[in-house]
Structure formats: structure tokens, C-alpha cells
Amino acid sequence: MLKKKDKYVVAVVGATGAVGNEMVSILEERNFPVERLRLFASERSEGKTMEFHDKPVEIEILSENVFKGIDIALFSAGAERSIHFAPLAAKAGCVVIDNSSAWRMDPEVPLVVPEVNPHDLKWHKGIIANPNCSTIQMVVALSPIHDAAKIKRIVVTTFQSVSGTGRKAMDELLNQTSALLNFKDIKPSVYPHQIAFNCLPHIDKFLDNGYTKEEMKMVNETQKIMGDKSIRITATTVRVPVFRSHSESVNIETEKKLSANEVRAILSDAPGVVVFDAPEKNIYPFPADAACKDDVYVGRIREDESIENGINMWIVADNLRKGAALNAVQIAEKLIEMT
């Protein structure tokens, strides 16, 4: 368990990745009470440094014996490393907030979005899971509606940026775009098909039921975070040629009838949500709006005229910030607040 202190020794595991970089930036931006920051990555980054509050911090090689004396560790180094290193860190007395898929559905590990289920932090045993990026932004918007009218069913289609795959994917989109505009051939490597000027209805591996792992993450994680397995959910996840920020078209069916104006009012008071909804003036959220921002933006709110209690909406957020790094830091802040 985390002990109350004025300042904490904080580690970022996977510091050189896109999310790890964002974690370091957000710790600085939010003036997180850091006594000492330790950065860990693979051997490729040995000897390199990163800036934190205008001072260089040397990147260390991740190993099994580095966690003694660390209070909080933000992990963003992939599921395989998390499975191996997170229990070792927890055993050393460190609280791990893990951004990978490794622990999300473990019944012994809370899966937390601070605006939705901060109470679940009370039963952590040293490891806390950070949800999938597309799940986070959806539940931030849907949880207050569920509280008001009980959501029975969710149909979601995502439009996810390439930064969700990582730096290599961002480079691939840039290189393919440049090549195609110069009438050159391309050879996809990160994705199975061309991503520039294209949309791929395929994120993560396909499962036996025809869904992808990403789609089933949204189903299972949403039910766990919102604490309601009765919510029926179906998802289609699509990779689009956008560098940063995920968008989602979401349709919900509720038990209690809500008008579009009632939904706007609920979301206007919801923490972490910005209602950006005046389509008659061409005002609605899009990825460029949300990039490098902390909030979840919601627009195109309208009643679904095909069913009695239906609402459609469009949800956009920065997948590297609220969808990953920011949510992890907010979990750490909430832990400190509750200690």
C-alpha cells in the first residue's frame, strides 16, 4: 500500500515509447509530487537522457532488482514485461499502474478510470490496471448517463489513430503519405495493408468469434469498469490515417427515456467531459481538436429515432493522454488523495 508522503519516488517503465514520453511530460505539467524520477527502458536506450523540470534524467536498463525504494511505477512497456516485472515491483513495495493489457481482466486487479470508479482503488494489491484507450474515453462519457438512466446496450464503432500502435506506425503513415503523393510504391510493414488514405477494420488479432481482441477489450473492460455485466456491448474497431486522437460513433439504449438536451445537460456537468455540440454551426469534435488535450469531447448528440430510448453521440479524445498516460497519472493522484 502507498504510504502518505509529501513527495514520492516515481518510475516510468518504458519511458522512451510514445506513452512513456507522455507520462513524463504529464508528471511535469501537473506538478506531480515527485521527489525523484527514475526512467527505465531497454538496452537500446542505455546512456540516453530525458528532460524533467529542465534537468536531464538518465535512462536506466530495466531489471528485476530496480524497484526497491520506488513508491509508484507507471508501466508502459507491453504486456510481456508487465507480467514479469509488475509482481516483482509490487513485492518490493511499489504500487504499479500498468498501461498494458496484462492485468486488466484479472479479478484481483482493479481496472480504473478515476472519473468513473475511483472506489475500486481501495482493494488494489499492488497492481492497478489502466484500461484500453478506446474504452477509457467511452466510459468517461457514458458512465454519468448510465447513472442517470441505466444503459442497456452499447453499439460502438471506433476510428483510431495510428499512435495507438506506436512510433513505428506513425512513421509508416508519414512515409506512406509522402510516397503516395510522390507517385512511389509503398510496402506496408507495421500494418497488413496500406494505412495512408485508407481505413483498416482490423485492430489487434482476430478471435474465433470474428471479433478482434481490441473489440472484445471494449466489451469486457466496459462491463468491469462500470460494474455492470448486464450491459450488452458490440464493437467494431477501425484504424484510420490520423496521427493522434481516437474518435468513436456510439449508440446507446437506456432503460429510462432521455432527450438529447437531457444528455447534453448530464454531460455538461460530468468530470472530464466537454460538450462540443452545435452542428448547425458546424461545431462538433474532431481529432485535431482533442490532440494534446486532457478532456473527452462529445458532440453530435441526438435521439435515435429507430428505437424508443436511444441516443447517438460522437466521442473524441487524445489516446496518448486521457487514453493512456494522463489516466495513469490521474490514478496515481487519486491514490495519493485517498491515502
Strands (E) in 181-271, as ranges, are: 232-239, 246-254
Torsion of CA 216, 218, 222, 228, to 10 degrees: -30
Contact 174, 195 (CB under 8 A): no
Contact 237, 213 (CB under 8 A): no
Catalytic-role residue among 94, 124, 133, 146: 133
Residue 133 is a catalytic residue: yes
Residue 292 is a catalytic residue: no
Gap between the Cα atoms of 104 and 240, Å rounded:
25
Question: Which stretches of the chain are DSSP H helices?
Answer: 18-29, 79-91, 133-149, 167-181, 213-226, 260-268, 287-290, 326-338
Gap between the Cα atoms of 88 and 108, Å rounded:
16
Catalytic-role residue among 94, 124, 146, 246: 246
Torsion of CA 225, 338, 67, 163, to 10 degrees: 40
Gap between the Cα atoms of 211 and 235, Å rounded:
8
Helix (H) / strand (E) element for 72: namely: strand 72-75
Q: What's at 305, amino acid-wise?
A: E
Active site positions, annotated? 133, 246
